C-alpha cells in the first residue's frame, strides 16, 4: 500500500519509539558514550552516523527534524535554539567577505538588523528590493550570492511569485532562502517551487502553544550537511531535547490549528474591511488585496494580518488598551490572540529602523488571530473601536 503523504497522517504516526510508546522520549543528555575505541573512531570519521554530543545530534531533536523535513518535502532539516539562530546561520553559510545579499523589503525586523548592522562588519553587502516586482529583483541580482525571501512579508504581507523568483535566481546561480513561518508547510511548500532552503521561526505556528523558542532549516541534504560541518557546530545555536519534544507535541495539531486560524482570521478581516474606522486591511485572502491572484496559489492563509485604523496615537492607545482577549504582544502563532500597534516599532533605538526604512504606516495594527471563538474576538474589537469615540 502506498504511504500516505497527507500532513495529518505524517504527524500522527511513528513506529520508531521504544515499548510501543505513541510519544517519543526526551533524551535529556549532553553526550553519548561508546562501547569501544573503534566505535568512537567511526563517529569521528562520520559524525552523522552516531549520536555523539547533543550540540550536534540528539535523538529527540532528530525526530522533530525528520518530521518537519517530511512536511516541507525536503531531504533534511536542522533545528536551532531560535528563529534568529536559524536565520543568521543560514545566511552566514552562503556568504563571505565581499558577498552581496539581496533581501525583500518588510522582512522580519531582526533579520533586517542582522543584515544592516552585523553583516556589514564582515564586508557583506545587502540590497533591499520590492519583492512584488520581478524586474526589480532581477536588476539587483548580478554579483549577488544570496536572495533572501519572506512571503508574505512582515507587517504588510507582500507576496513574491516564488516559482518565477526561483527560476530567475537559478539563471544567475544564486542561492535562495525563504522564511515560511507565516504559511507553514500546511499552506506553502517553497521547495517544490524551486526555492533552495526554507526556514521557520518554530516559536510561531510550528510550536503553536507560545511556550517554545526555536528555529529550523529545511533543504537538500548536501546543504544541511555543509551547515552541520561548520556554522551549526561552531555557532552553537542548538535546540534542547525538551523543546524538541514540545515542538513535536505542537506539530500533532498543526493542520487543525491552521484551519481554525485561517477561518477566524478571514472572517474578522472581512468585517474590518467594512468598518468605518478602518482605512485598509492587509490580508492576502481578501479579494481586495492587491496580490490576491498570487495569494490564491497558496494552500490557505494563516491567522496573522494587519489593518490601518483611522486614529491618531491617542486613539490607538485607547483602542488597544480597551481590548480584553487581544493581548499586547510581539510574537504570534500561538493559541492566544495578540495585538501589536506598529507605532511602537518606531521607538526602537537602532541606528537603522526597519519601520522607518520600509515606510510602515504609524496607524497600522497587526493582529494575531488565536483559537478563541470568532464572535468573542469580534466583540472585543468592537469594544476597542467604541473607545475611539471616547474623549
Catalytic sites, residue numbers: 55, 108, 179, 204
Q: Are 369 and 261 spatial neighbours (Cβ–Cβ below 8 Å)?
A: yes
Between CA 326 and CA 243 the distance in angstroms is 26
Q: What is the distance between the alpha carbons of residues 210 and 312, in angstroms, rounded to a whole number?
A: 31
What does the block give as the cell for 46? 562520520
Under DSSP, the state recorded for 189 is -
Calculated CA dihedral for residues 183, 185, 187, 192, nearest 10 degrees: 110
- What span, in angstroms and rounded, lies between the C-alpha atoms of 295 and 269? 15
Tell me how far the alpha carbon of residue 260 is from its chain's centroid: 18
Across the beta sheet with 175-179, the strand order is 76-80, 215-219, 197-201, 175-179, 146-150, 100-104, 125-129
Q: Cβ distance 349 to 280 under 8 Å?
A: no
* CA distances, 279 to each of 38, 150, 265, 305, 364 (Å): 69, 25, 18, 14, 10
8 Å CB contact between 260 and 274 = no
User: In a 3-state reduction of DSSP, which class is residue 323?
Assistant: coil
Provide DSSP, 236-275: --PPPHHHHHHHHHHHHTHHHHHHHHHHHHHHHHHHHHT-
Query: What is the CB-side half-sphere exposure of residue 167 using CA atoms within 13 A?
Result: 5
Of 242, 238, 186, residue with least CA distance to 217: 238
- How far is it, in rounded angstroms, from Cα 85 to Cα 299? 28
Identify the CA nearest to 256 among candidates 11, 69, 2, 84. 11
Amino acid at each position: 500500500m502506498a504511504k500516505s503523504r497527507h500532513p495529518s497522517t505524517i504527524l500522527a504516526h511513528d513506529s520508531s519509539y521504544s515499548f510501543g510508546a505513541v510519544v517519543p522520549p526526551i533524551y535529556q543528555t549532553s553526550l553519548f558514550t561508546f562501547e569501544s575505541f573503534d566505535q568512537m573512531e567511526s563517529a569521528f570519521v562520520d559524525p552523522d552516523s552516531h549520536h555523539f554530543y547533543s550540540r550536534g545530534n540528539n535523538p529527540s531533536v532528530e525526530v522533530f527534524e525528520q518530521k518537519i523535513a517530511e512536511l516541507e518535502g525536503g531531504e533534511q532539516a536542522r533545528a536551532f535554539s531560535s528563529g534568529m539562530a536559524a536565520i543568521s546561520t543560514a545566511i552566514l553559510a552562503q556568504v563571505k567577505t565581499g558577498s552581496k545579499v539581496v533581501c525583500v523589503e518588510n522582512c522580519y525586523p531582526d533579520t533586517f538588523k542582522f543584515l544592516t548592522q552585523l553583516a556589514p562588519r564582515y564586508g557583506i553587502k545587502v540590497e533591499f528590493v520590492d519583492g512584488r516586482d520581478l524586474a526589480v529583483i532581477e536588476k539587483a541580482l548580478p554579483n549577488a550570492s544570496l536572495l533572501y525571501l519572506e512571503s508574505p512579508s512582515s507587517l504588510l504581507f507582500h507576496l513574491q511569485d516564488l516559482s518565477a523568483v526561483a527560476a530567475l535566481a537559478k539563471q544567475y546561480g544564486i542561492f535562495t532562502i525563504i522564511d515560511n513561518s507565516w504559511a507553514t508547510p500546511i499552506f506553502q511548500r517553497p521547495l517544490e517551487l524551486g526555492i533552495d532552503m526554507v526556514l521557520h521561526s518554530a516559536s510561531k505556528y510550528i510550536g503553536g502553544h507560545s511556550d517554545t523558542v526555536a528555529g529550523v532549516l529545511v533543504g537538500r541534504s548536501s546543504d544541511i550537511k555543509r551547515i552541520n560541518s561548520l556554522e551549526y557546530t561552531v555557532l552553537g545555536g542548538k535546540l534542547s531535547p525538551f523543546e524538541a519534544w514540545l515542538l513535536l507535541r505542537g506539530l500533532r495539531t498543526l493542520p487543525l490549528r491552521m484551519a481554525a486560524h485561517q477561518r477566524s482570521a478571514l472572517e474578522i478581516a472581512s468585517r474590518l474591511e467594512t468598518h468605518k474606522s478602518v482605512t485598509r486591511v492587509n490580508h492576502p485572502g481578501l479579494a481586495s488585496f492587491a496580490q490576491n491572484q498570487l495569494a490564491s496559489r497558496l494552500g490557505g492563509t494563516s491567522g496573522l494580518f494587519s489593518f490601518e485604523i483611522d486614529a491618531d496615537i491617542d486613539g490607538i492607545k485607547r483602542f488597544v488598551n480597551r481590548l480584553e482577549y487581544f493581548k499586547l504582544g510581539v510574537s504570534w502563532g500561538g493559541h492566544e490572540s495578540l495585538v501589536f500597534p506598529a507605532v511602537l516599532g518606531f521607538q526602537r533605538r537602532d541606528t537603522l529602523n526597519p519601520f522607518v526604512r520600509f515606510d510602515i504606516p504609524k496607524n497600522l495594527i497587526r493582529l494575531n488571530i488565536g483559537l478563541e471563538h470568532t464572535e468573542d474576538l469580534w466583540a472585543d474589537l468592537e469594544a476597542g473601536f467604541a473607545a475611539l469615540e471616547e474623549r
